[in-house]
Amino acid sequence: MSVEDDGVEDEDAVSGNEAAGDLEAVDDMAGNRIEGGTARSDLDYVTRAIATEPDSVVVETNDSGRAIKFRIHVAPGDMGRMIGRRGRVAQAIRTVVRVAGSRDGVDTNVDFVED
């Protein structure tokens, strides 16, 4: 083993570049956040996964301060799949969206609208 290949990296080069990159990434993410974005993306993903016609799923958002109201429009044949037996699927969707919204610091409400 040579002196140059002793397994020790240059500490200044590694810590300086990584620290600067980490700070830039944190700053970029903080300024580009959409209010309730995590809840919206989770809701969109779950409803499209459940629906037999995922292209017909439309998520409307009504933002009023700390509360965000989501209205889900689906094909008529998918409404029963979204609600489930005794509303269990709908309640599970609401729970997942509520948890995702709490990560963003917003209250959420999910309504299923029949067209």
26-73 confidence digits (pLDDT tens): 545 554 567 778 899 999 999 999 999 999 999 999 988 779 999 999
Q: What is the CATH number of domain 37-113?
A: 3.30.300.20
Question: Residue 110: beta bridge partners?
Answer: 70
Give residues with Cβ within 8 angstroms of 112, minimum separation 6. 71, 72, 74, 79, 82, 83, 90
How far apart CA 67 and CA 115 sit, in angstroms, is: 24
Instruction: Kindly report the pTM of this predicted structure.
Output: 0.69
Window from 1-5, 42-46, 84-88, 106-110 with minimum mean pLDDT: 1-5
Q: Is the pLDDT of residue 93 over 70?
A: yes
pLDDT of residue 64: 82
How far apart CA 59 and CA 18 sit, in angstroms, is: 39
Give residues with Cβ within 8 angstroms of 68, minimum separation 6. 35, 36, 39, 40, 61, 62, 101, 106, 107, 108, 109
